[in-house]
C-alpha cells in the first residue's frame, strides 16, 4: 500500500506582506527546531500571497528550510493579455510546488465555476505544479443534499480527463466550517474524505487513489488536529487562520507528539 506522508498546509489567504512573511517563516522554523521536530515525519506547506513567494522561496533555499512552497491561485492561461493574472509557468520558475485551486473563497467571490476549476487543475499540471483541489458543501447544501454529494460532484468535474499518473492533492473544506470555529467532526471528515478517495479511484485509478493525499480544512486548530489525523482517509489539513499564528501552526505540525491529547 502506498505510504502517504501527512501534509500540513498553511493557506495564509491575503495576510502577511513579504517582510512579515520572511519573519514568520524564520520564527516557525525556529519554533520547530526548539521543539526538536523531526523533518520528514510530515510535509509542511506554506501558501503565501503572490507578492511574498520570491522572498519566501529565497529564504527556504538559502537556509535549507524543509517547507514546501505553494501559491493560492493560478491562471487558466499560460501568458498574454490577461491583466492581473499569474501564470503557472511563472510559479514553476519560482520553484513553487503546489497551487490551491477552487478554494471556496475563489468560487464565491470570483465566481469560479467547476469548469474554471477544472481548467486551473489542467493549467497547474501543464507546468508541473501539484494542484490542491478544494471542494466542499455550503450549509444549505449540507441541509439539502447531505455532506458528500456536492464535494463529490465538484471533484468529479475537477478531475475529468486528468491522467492516472498526475500528482494531485484534494482538500475537503466544508464552507460552513471555514473561519467559523465550527469544525466538522472527525467522523464527518472521514466519511467525506473516503467518498472523495472513491472519486479519485473512479477517475484516475486505484493506484492514484492509494497515493493521493486528501486533506481536511475548516477551523483546524492545534486542539483538534490530532482527532482528524487519526482517521484513515484524512492525510493532513489545509489550515487558514491558525496557519498565521506561529505557535498554533507549529503545534499543528507537531500533532504526532500530542495524539491522544
Catalytic residues: 103, 173
Q: Site for ligand PGA (CB under 6 A): how many residues? A: 13
Q: 51, 15 in Cβ contact below 8 A?
A: no
Residues 6+ apart with CB under 8 A from 196: 135, 148, 151, 152, 155, 170, 172, 214, 233
224 is an interface residue for ligand PGA by CB under 6 A: no
**CA–CA separation, 238 vs 231, rounded Å?**
15
Residue with cell 487519526: 230
Name the closest residue to ligand PGA (Cβ): 240
CB nearer to ligand PGA: pick between 90 and 254: 254
231 is an interface residue for ligand PGA by CB under 6 A: no
**8: which DSSP letter?**
E
239 is an interface residue for ligand PGA by CB under 6 A: yes
Residues 6+ apart with CB under 8 A from 217: 11, 134, 136, 171, 172, 173, 177, 178, 237, 238, 239, 240
Closest separation between CB of residue 53 and ligand PGA, Å? 18
Q: What does the DSSP assignment read for 9-44?
A: EEE--S---HHHHHHHHHHHHHHHHHTT--TTSSEE
CB nearer to ligand PGA: pick between 36 and 109: 109
Closest separation between CB of residue 45 and ligand PGA, Å? 12
Among 179, 182, 187, 261, binds ligand PGA (CB under 6 A): 179
213 φ/ψ angles, rounded to the nearest 5 degrees: -85, 135
Closest separation between CB of residue 15 and ligand PGA, Å? 10
Stretch 180-219: interaction string toward ligand PGA, x if CB under 6 A: -------------------------------------xxx
Is residue 229 packed enough to be buried (19+ CB in 10 Å), middle (13-18) or exposed (0-12)? Answer: buried
Q: 157, 198 in Cβ contact below 8 A?
A: no
Closest separation between CB of residue 240 and ligand PGA, Å? 2
159 is an interface residue for ligand PGA by CB under 6 A: no
Closest separation between CB of residue 252 and ligand PGA, Å? 10
137 is an interface residue for ligand PGA by CB under 6 A: no
Q: Which residues lie near ligand PGA (CB under 6 A)?
A: 11, 173, 178-179, 217-220, 238-242
Amino acid at each position: 500500500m502506498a505510504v502517504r506522508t501527512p501534509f500540513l498546509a498553511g493557506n495564509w489567504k491575503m495576510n502577511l506582506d513579504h517582510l512579515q512573511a520572511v519573519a514568520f517563516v524564520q520564527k516557525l522554523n525556529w519554533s520547530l527546531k526548539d521543539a526538536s521536530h523531526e523533518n520528514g515525519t510530515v510535509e509542511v506547506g506554506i501558501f503565501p500571497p503572490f507578492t511574498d513567494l520570491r522572498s519566501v522561496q529565497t529564504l527556504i533555499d538559502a537556509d535549507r528550510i524543509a517547507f514546501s512552497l505553494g501559491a493560492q491561485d493560478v491562471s487558466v492561461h499560460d501568458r498574454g493579455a490577461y491583466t492581473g493574472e499569474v501564470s503557472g509557468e511563472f510559479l514553476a520558475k519560482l520553484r513553487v510546488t503546489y497551487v490551491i485551486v477552487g478554494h471556496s473563497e475563489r468560487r464565491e467571490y470570483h465566481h469560479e465555476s467547476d469548469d474554471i476549476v477544472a481548467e486551473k487543475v489542467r493549467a497547474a499540471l501543464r507546468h508541473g505544479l501539484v494542484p490542491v483541489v478544494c471542494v466542499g458543501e455550503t450549509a444549505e447544501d449540507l441541509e439539502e443534499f447531505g455532506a458528500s454529494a456536492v464535494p463529490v460532484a465538484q471533484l468529479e468535474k475537477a478531475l475529468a480527463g486528468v491522467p492516472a499518473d498526475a500528482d494531485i492533492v484534494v482538500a475537503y473544506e466544508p464552507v460552513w466550517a471555514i473561519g467559523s470555529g465550527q469544525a466538522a467532526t472527525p467522523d464527518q471528515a472521514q466519511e467525506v474524505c473516503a467518498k472523495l478517495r472513491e472519486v479519485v479511484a473512479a477517475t484516475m485509478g486505484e493506484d492514484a487513489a492509494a497515493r493521493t493525499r486528501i486533506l481536511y480544512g475548516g477551523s483546524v486548530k492545534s486542539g483538534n488536529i490530532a482527532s482528524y489525523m487519526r482517521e484513515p482517509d484524512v492525510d493532513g489539513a489545509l489550515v487558514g487562520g491558525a496557519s498565521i499564528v506561529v505557535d498554533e501552526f507549529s503545534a499543528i505540525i507537531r500533532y504526532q507528539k500530542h495524539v491522544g491529547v
